Amino acid sequence: MNVDDYAQGWTTTIIDGLNRPFPWGSAHQSQGPDDVDVTPWRLHPCFHGCLDWHSSAHMQWSALTLLEHANQSIDCATIDELVGLLSARLTNENAQVEAEYLRVHRGYERPYGWGWAALLSAKCSALATMTSNSPEWASATRIVGRQIFDNLLAWLPTMTFPVRTGTHDNTAFGIGLCLDAAQALGRSDVVDAIVKHSHRFFDADTDYPSSWEPSGNDFLSAALSEAHLMARVYRAEGRSGEFGTWLHAFLPHLGQADDNLLDVAEVTDGTDGKLAHLYGLSLSRAWQLRVLTPWLDDDARRRIEVATDRQISEVASQITDGDFMSTHWLVSFALQAVLAKL
Cα 126–Cα 120–Cα 82 angle in degrees, nearest 5: 90
Peptide bond into 21 cis (omega under 30): no
| Peptide bond preceding 214 in cis form (omega within 30 of 0) | yes
Residue among 150, 33, 157, 38 nearest 102 (CA): 150
| Rounded CA separation 49/57 (Å) | 9
Nearest Cα to Cα of residue 135 among 92, 94, 84: 92
Which residues neighbour 19 within 8 Å (Cβ) at sequence distance 6 or greater? 49, 85
Assigned domain for 282 exists: yes
The dihedral of CA 315, 316, 322, 327: what is its sign? positive
Report the alpha-carbon distance of residue 134 to residue 127 in Å, rounded: 7
One domain for residues 59 and 121 = yes
Question: Is 169 a domain residue?
Answer: no
Does residue 80 form part of some domain?
A: yes
36 contacts 30 by C-beta, under 8 angstroms: yes
Within-domain flag for 183: no
pLDDT of the residue at 342:
65
Per the domain annotation, does 190 fall within a domain? no
223 and 312 assigned to the same domain: yes
The verdict on 214 and 153 lying in the same domain is no
- Rounded to whole angstroms, the Cα distance separating 52 from 234 reads 33
> What is the residue range of 333's domain?
203-342
Phi, psi for residue 217 in degrees, rounded to 5: -130, 30
Whole-number Å distance between alpha carbons of 138 and 90: 8
Distances (CA, A) of 155 to 32, 90, 102, 259: 25, 26, 13, 35
Both 150 and 1 in one domain: the answer is: yes
Pick from 273, 194, 268, 269: which is nearest to 236 by CA? 194
Q: What does the pLDDT read at residue 168? A: 98
Taking the whole predicted model, whether its pTM rises above 0.85 is answered as yes
Residues 132 and 247 in one domain: no
* CA 158/CA 244 separation, integer angstroms: 29
**Tens of pLDDT, residues 56-82:** 999 999 999 999 999 999 999 999 999
Cβ atoms of 280 and 329 closer than 8 Å: yes
215 and 135 within one domain: no
Q: Which of 98, 129, 157 is the last residue of a domain?
A: 157
In which residue ranges of the chain is pLDDT below 50? none
- Considering the domain architecture, whether residues 225 and 308 belong to the same structural domain is answered as yes
| Domain total of the chain | 2
Residue 90 belongs to a domain: yes
- 127 and 264 fall within a common domain: no
Question: Are 214 and 113 members of one domain?
Answer: no
Which SS3 state, helix, strand or coil, does residue 254 take? coil
Please tell me the distance from the alpha carbon of residue 225 to that of residue 220, in angstroms, as a whole number: 7
- The reported pLDDT for the residue numbered 130 is 85
Q: Rounded to an integer, what distance in angstroms lies between the CA atom of residue 68 and that of residue 232? A: 23
Cα 326 to Cα 329: distance, rounded to the nearest angstrom? 6
Asked whether residue 146 falls in the same domain as residue 6, the answer is: yes
Neighbours of 183 (CB within 10 A): 17
Q: In the chain, which residue ranges form alpha helices assigned H by DSSP?
A: 3-18, 40-43, 53-70, 76-89, 92-104, 112-126, 134-155, 171-185, 188-202, 222-236, 240-250, 273-292, 298-313, 316-321, 324-327, 330-339
115 occurs within a structural domain: yes
Residue 225 is assigned to a structural domain of this protein = yes
| 238 shares its domain with 331 | yes
d(CA 221, CA 190) in angstroms, rounded, equals: 24
Domain co-membership, 334 together with 239: yes
Alpha carbons 59 and 324: distance in angstroms, whole number: 13
Buried residues in 293-316 as b, exposed as e (16+ CB within 10 A) = bebbeeebbebbeebbeebbeebb
